[in-house]
Amino acid sequence: MTTEEKYVAAVYLVVFVVLLAYVFIIGLKLQRLERELAELTQLALRKKEEPERKAVAVG
Amino acid sequence: MAAAIALIFFYAPLDEDGLNQKIFYFHVPIAFTAYACFGWGGWKALRHLWKRDEDADLESYVAIHLGVIFGLLTLVTGSIWARYRWGHWWVWSEDQLVLFLVLFLFYCAYFMLRFSLPPGPQRANLSAVYALFGVALIPVSILAIRLSQRFIHPIAFDKGGPNMAGSQFFTFCVAVLAMFAVAATLYHLELAGKRLDVRLRELREALQ
């Protein structure tokens, strides 16, 4: 590989790595949001069940 | 992007710059994308101040965030090119390089301002005003090459049009479109994530 080829390869590699890192970070963030959404769904379901349980206990 | 890379390496002819000229097809579109992101961020900032559009603040922030990333890539790819062509990583006497660095640092400081304030209308307004000031630097940075006295930096476009063959110009246009498409995709992806984050926070507050 000539010096010129190394410089050209370096440029394309830098761009590729930076964009890949950016996509990876967004991917990690979306994973976190997915976990939070699952947590909130559980919380909402528990809240929904709570008044029903109370009604059964009284009866 | 694949089409742009194929055109760059298999279609566009080499000129007197040799293989090193292939860097131009990535470096300049990345710089244009950075300018476009900063410009879009400024436009959204103006919309925030003008129409009181709350969503525009988030859009402006995401556009500037992307602009800084593309700005960093412009500086890095330009430095690699300069190291081979000029034998230096950086030339302080070159106006265009220094003005682009000033523009980049100006927008880096945007994040310091934004995150030094608590979330709310004050932060959104100050960030929007700051983003609008930055827009004034964009034409100065683009035109700096014409203001420069030394003309070390190559001039790809002048009053007569592009300084390149038709096939090179076509490849360059495809590369610009590809880079804009990448930036637009990342912009929408990050914006969707940020909006989801805000909605989830609101939902958590409502449920607790």
Residue-level pLDDT at B72: 93
Residue-wise pLDDT tens digits, B44-94: 999 988 888 878 889 999 999 999 999 999 999 988 888 888 888 888 877
Contact of B30 with chain A, judged by CB distance below 8 Å, is answered with yes
Contact A11 B182 (CB under 8 A): no
Q: Quick check: B98 pLDDT over 80?
A: yes
Residue-level pLDDT at B160: 66
Q: Judge contact between B197 and A33, C-beta under 8 A.
A: yes
Helix ranges restricted to H, chain B: 2-10, 24-51, 54-85, 95-115, 121-135, 137-147, 166-207
Strand pairing partners for B157? Answer: B162
Contact of B182 with chain A, judged by CB distance below 8 Å, is answered with yes
Distances (CA, A) of B153 to B5, B16, B89: 24, 15, 13
Q: Quick check: A54 pLDDT over 80?
A: no
Instruction: Report which of B89, B67, B88 is spatially closest to residue B76, judged by C-alpha positions.
Output: B89
Contact of B177 with chain A, judged by CB distance below 8 Å, is answered with no
Q: Is the ipTM of this complex over 0.90?
A: no
Q: Quick check: B181 pLDDT over 90?
A: yes
User: B50 to chain A, minimum CA–CA distance in Å?
Assistant: 31
**Both tokens of residue B79?**
């430095």
Pairing of strands B157-158, B161-162: antiparallel
- What is the rounded distance in angstroms from the CA atom of residue B158 to the CA atom of residue B146? 9
* pTM score over 0.90: no
